[in-house]
Amino acid sequence: MPDFWFFLEVLVGGLLSGTMYALVALGFVLIYKASSVFNFAQGAMVFFAVLSFVGFMELGLPFWAALPVTVGLMILVGMGTERFVLRPLVNQSEDTLLMATIGLAFVIEGVAQLAWGVDVRRLDLGIRDEPINWVMDNTGMLISQLDVTAAVVAGIMVAALALLFSHTKVGRGLRAVADDHAAALSIGIPLKHIWMLVWATAGVVALVAGMLWGARSGVQFALVWVALKALPVLIIGGFTSVPGVILAGLIVGAFEKLGEVFIGPFVGGGIEGWAPYMLAVLFLLIRPEGLFGEKIIRRV
Amino acid sequence: MLTDKMLRRVVPAISAAATFIAIAATSTAAMAQESQEQYFGIPSSRVGPYSAMGTGYYGGIIDYLNYVNMKGGVNGVKLTYDECETEYNAARTVECYQRLLNKGDQKMVVFDTLGTPGAYAVIGRMAQDHVVLAQYGYGRTDAADGRVWPWVFNAAGHYWGQIAVKMNYIAEKEGGVDKMKGKTIVHLHIDTAYGREPLPAMRQIAKDWDFKLIEIAVPAPGLEQQSQWLQIRKEKADWVTFWGAGSGMNSTAITTAARVGFPREKMFYVTFGGAEEDMIPAGDAAKGTYVAANAAPGRDYPLIADILKVVYGVGKGNMQNPERVGTVYYNRGVGAAAMWIEALRNAQKIHNKVGKTVNGDEFRDGYEALDITDDKLKEIGILGMSAPFKMSCAKHDGSERFKVMQWDGKKFQILTDWVAAPDPAFIRKLIEDSAAKYAAENNITPRPCS
Amino acid sequence: MLYREAGQFRTSYAQDSQIFPLRQDRVGIFIILTAAVMLPFVANSYWLSAILVPWLVLSLVALGQNILMGYAGQLSLGSAGFMAVGAFACYNLILRIDGIPFVVAVALSGVCAALVGIVFGLPSLRIRGLYLAVATLASQFFIVWALDKFGWFKNYDPAGVITAQPIVMFGHNFATPREKYWVVLAIVAVLALLAKNMARGSVGRGWMAVRDMDVAAEVMGFSLLRTKLQAFAISSFYCGVGGALFAFAYLQTVEPSAFGIDLSFRILFMVIIGGLGTIMGSFLGAGFILLMPIFLNIFFHTVFGKSVDATITSALEQVIFGVMIIMFLIFEPLGLARLWQLTKERLRLWPFKH
């Protein structure tokens, strides 16, 4: 296959992977935007969400019934987190909150394994993880149907959430809360409802991300590590920007895959693990708050 | 009155104090230990990314120990065990090793870490502590040279033998060694020492048979292998030998291969990556994948069937999901434990301690004296599940024979009988060279073996 | 009643600037050190090699992390990477330089780690807070990858895992757990003392100024470049020495994957739970994090024994560990060191209430 097409294939594959990373990063951004908490437990939540979904289906619930049940479960998890972990720590430093979410990650991972066991499970979404035929026939490139579907879903979610934040009353309330809790309270914005909404949305995002990753790689413990893939996306896009997440995801995905295929062999391969992080550091040196993040104003 | 302030002090203080008390109590406690119970320490890995492997393997071991107890023990000696969770982490394995080492006045006689990282972490302590490291199909390959490693064994075949068997099978499928000339074989592996283990042998075979060997690494956790498989497609590989770890990597490789249209019938998995738990998540895409086996799966081996009847019959089975009895990891665990018990029997006989417990030195002699013939396998009830072998002073590896199986979508179909590597002398030479290098570097005088 | 300053006069500047101005404190430290040195004669080998040695070593690494995070305020998640540099450097130094004393090798490997730390600390001049934390992950992943990929570091060992050489100093081989413990104790005690002095001297004050308000510190004349890189360098030195001791006195194998991100997180926990910005906190935190999983494991195996599936107990241990972390952060965010401080203050007034 001519080299140009191969390059394009790797590039497109990378872009599509990037949207999957962006989907995971979206959960981080949501929670950070609304409560200034970096939720390290997002990876564990992705794992827990999809594991519960598959678990419910195994218990006999059909696909369309298991979905709302799992969403409900994730809402409960979010509410519980807010009530028992975040509220007692409400004025603590960033580091403390970060630690608390790492502790939370341990708890969620343990509970997931307790509740649903440690077996690896399949998830069949009805979309086959196989190349799209007409693309393959015309260009020789292999682009997976599942990847394209995932990209479309990610795009829709990002668009919907961006619209939510900028054009709806609820979105404005969320932004107000993120800006200043006390001020938001003082003008009558119901803080607890807002937080519940945010965590519920993050839970839904986690479930969708988990479903797509699970369909691709099987529902198993290693899914908690997709969070590590999403961190460079967060840095490059900025912790507080929803549209930034997609753009950053595309950049990271493309860079990672192109780097692994074209530069990797010169150094023995395996650079996928750290290359996106190095890219993120380089970006930060130029723009310390990410591409679209809010400029950090520090007063002396 | 319990104020919030007091609570703030009390809670952490009590937990800290309790910690120290508990440690003090348990580490110096002399557990009531009957001298007729042989103690085993089991470092299991039941949580985390390798939990599927750990629960199956150690579940098999524990079931077998309970089974032997129910059948009257080893010449009347009952078996007892303690578990310690390592999470498949090297540092925790060391911790568990030290915690499990002594129970009352007895010392554990054998240690099985199920994995190469754990094995390497403790391998240096075996000679000092007089504990046998019973690697079962993993670990330090050059420990097969018993003169440099008297306390380390590998009863189920090591990676160099395995890759030779696989290459031979591939050659057969291609129509002969001469047809291998000019072909492209990709070794897709996890980017760790374990993944690179077979490379020295593979490179030599590639030179001898004149095929192109491409080494492609997958960084852990390997949930995403798009770039690697696109490379494989670009290189137009004929076969892919896959050396992964953890179900994430293993099933992702299959689904990604399906995505780039690489035929699963040209993929050959390693013993540690090819089990039901790795194939099932990949769904239909896994059909046709070849796997090497050092312990064949199946429930109709007399021992497995008996365990189901006797142990699970009274509800004492260790597997949470009894469906997993008879799977690859489970049977491997049973095989490993069977070797321990045979070694124990040997030890008792050799040292005239029939009906009594043995210590580390005696157990080591018993393990080294393992002579597992087909008749012995039949007696244990695992004929066909494990391969026959004989150990000796210098030869600490097992039969170096593997079965080739293929996944048909629901279970593994066993395609061959026990296949040996075509040139065992060549592999033995590699092992002895490596062991000699280690001995020289570490000032170890190899012990003499007649 | 016993623990008070009354009657103790400091008549010279040197006396005034002691680390332990109270006589009771000095006596206490003396007792603790003597007990620490005498301990191997009463403790069994399990305690020594499985609990005390790793505790000392990890306290040292936690000290390094504390210097960076607690005193200098730079959020870092790469401590395990610097440990790896230290461990491999020590291995290579002993391998390639014949007859080098162990302590010299350890010190040099700390220097290697410090140099690497400076390189990866450069982004801190521009990036802050959480962003810096994620950027340090870059160093963590890259270092482990590089050590694994380039065979030279591992002496081209086919398995990629190397055995640490024996600890040899002045012709004597420190092989028994007891001797290893003493070597580790000596190194850790000296370095902890150095850290304590640095922290309360101008160096430490510079770090704390940068931590609290770095723009103001710069205005006052602190060179941010020097201060931050110095913090990274010294912190990495400690982590490197800790890593070398971790490999040589505890694990006995030197393998890149043993220094993964979960170790970095553990060290982070140690520092937070022990108390940010305190020397004592590093030791307390390391003890807590080290002992908690062991305690839980033993607790479950004694209470539930064989009646509950081991998989369930293992998962429960994980849950309880996470819950304890969260509870600690809620109830005493300043860590165990704060508890210790409060106890001391209470003791000063005892038996009176106020």
Task: Out of A121, A219, A268, name the one closest to residue B217 (CB).
Answer: A268
Write the single-letter amino acid at A82: E
For testing contact with chain A, the best of B212, B227, B328, B329 (most A CBs within 10 A) = B227
Q: Which residues contact A243 (CB under 8 A, 6 or more apart)?
A: A158, A162, A292
pLDDT of amino acid A248: 92
Task: Out of B22, B89, B121, name the one closest to residue C299 (CB).
Answer: B22
* 3-state DSSP assignment of residue A85: helix
A278 inside 8 A of chain C by CB: yes
Which single residue is written with the structure tokens 């494989």?
B232
B13 inside 8 A of chain C by CB: yes
How do residues A208-248 score in pLDDT, each as one tens digit? 999 888 887 778 887 888 888 888 998 888 888 888 888 99
| Ranges of H-type helices in B29-89 | 51-70
In chain C, residues with a C-beta closer than 8 Å to the C-beta of A228 are 137, 261
Would you say residue B227 has pLDDT above 60?
yes
Would you say residue C81 has pLDDT above 90?
yes
Residues A294, B236: Cα–Cα separation, whole Å: 47
* Interchain proximity A220–B281, CB inside 8 Å: yes
pLDDT of amino acid A133: 75
Answer yes or no: are the C-beta atoms of C48 and C63 closer than 8 Å.
no
In chain B, residues with a C-beta closer than 8 Å to the C-beta of C263 are 91
Interface partners of C (3+ CB pairs, < 8 Å)? A, B
Answer yes or no: are the C-beta atoms of B372 and B383 closer than 8 Å.
no
Answer yes or no: are the C-beta atoms of C113 and C240 closer than 8 Å.
yes
* Interchain proximity B249–A222, CB inside 8 Å: yes
Answer yes or no: are the C-beta atoms of B133 and B123 closer than 8 Å.
yes
3-state DSSP helix/strand/coil % of chain C, to nearest 5: 75, 5, 20
Segment A50-78 mean pLDDT: 89
pLDDT of amino acid A107: 93
A106 inside 8 A of chain C by CB: yes
How do residues B124-156 score in pLDDT, each as one tens digit? 888 888 999 999 888 888 888 989 999 999 888
Answer yes or no: are the C-beta atoms of B283 and A256 closer than 8 Å.
no
* Interchain proximity C342–B9, CB inside 8 Å: yes
**Least Cα separation, residue B46 to chain A (angstroms):** 8
- Total count of residues recorded for chain B: 450
- Chosen CATH of B35-157+296-393 out of 3.30.70.60, 3.30.70.980, 3.60.15.10, 3.40.50.2300: 3.40.50.2300
Q: Higher confidence at residue A8 or residue A192?
A: A8
Give the distance, in angstroms, between the CA of residue C252 and the centroid of all CA atoms in the same chain.
19
Measuring CA to CA, which residue among A100, A71, A95 is closest to residue A84? A100
Answer yes or no: are the C-beta atoms of C214 and C130 closer than 8 Å.
no
| Ranges of H-type helices in C49-78 | 53-66
| pLDDT band, very low/low/confident/very high, at B29 (cuts 50, 70, 90) | very low
In chain C, residues with a C-beta closer than 8 Å to the C-beta of A281 are 123, 127, 135, 138
Q: Which residues 170-229 of A have a C-beta within 8 angstroms of C?
A: 228
How do residues A148-195 score in pLDDT, each as one tens digit? 888 888 888 888 888 887 888 888 888 888 777 778 888 888 887 887
pLDDT of amino acid A105: 92
Measuring CA to CA, which residue among C317, B55, B252 is closest to residue A117? B55
| pLDDT band, very low/low/confident/very high, at C114 (cuts 50, 70, 90) | very high
Q: Residue C268: closest CA among chain A residues belongs to which residue?
A: A99
Answer yes or no: are the C-beta atoms of B342 and B376 closer than 8 Å.
yes
Residues C318, A52: Cα–Cα separation, whole Å: 19
Residues C95, B440: Cα–Cα separation, whole Å: 13
Residue B1: other Cβ atoms inside 10 A:
3
Integer angstrom CA distances of residue B436 from B19, B146, B149, B394, B445 = 46, 11, 11, 13, 9
| C-alpha torsion sign, points C196, C202, C203, C209 | positive
Q: Which residues contact C243 (CB under 8 A, 6 or more apart)?
A: C61, C80, C82, C83, C84, C85, C86, C87, C90, C109, C113, C259
Full-model pTM: 0.88
In chain A, residues with a C-beta closer than 8 Å to the C-beta of B247 are 120, 218, 220, 222
Which single residue is written with the structure tokens 């999901």?
B321
pLDDT of amino acid C42: 86
Residues B198, C11: Cα–Cα separation, whole Å: 72
* Interchain proximity A114–C145, CB inside 8 Å: no
- What is the number of helices (H) and of strands (E) in chain C? 15, 4
Residues A41, C265: Cα–Cα separation, whole Å: 13
Task: Out of A92, A106, A273, name the one closest to residue C141 (CB).
Answer: A273
Would you say residue C130 has pLDDT above 90?
no
Would you say residue C311 has pLDDT above 80?
no
* Interchain proximity A300–C137, CB inside 8 Å: no
Report the mean per-residue pLDDT for chain B.
Answer: 85
- Tell me which DSSP letter residue C41 carries: G
Would you say residue B316 has pLDDT above 50?
yes
Structural domain boundaries of chain B? 35-157+296-393, 160-293
How do residues B83-107 score in pLDDT, each as one tens digit? 888 888 787 888 889 888 888 788 8
Measuring CA to CA, which residue among A147, A122, A211 is closest to residue B279? A122
Q: Does domain B160-293 have CATH number 3.10.20.30?
A: no
The helix (run of H) or strand (run of E) holding residue A77 is: helix A63-81
Task: Out of B16, B44, B99, name the one closest to residue C50 (CB).
Answer: B99
User: Angle at the Cα of A271 (from A268 to A274), degrees rounded to 5?
Assistant: 150
pLDDT of amino acid B32: 39
Token pair in block for residue B141: 């390959």
| pLDDT band, very low/low/confident/very high, at B31 (cuts 50, 70, 90) | very low
Residues C7, C2: Cα–Cα separation, whole Å: 12
In chain B, residues with a C-beta closer than 8 Å to the C-beta of A13 are 226-227, 230
* Interchain proximity B252–A213, CB inside 8 Å: no
pLDDT of amino acid C74: 85
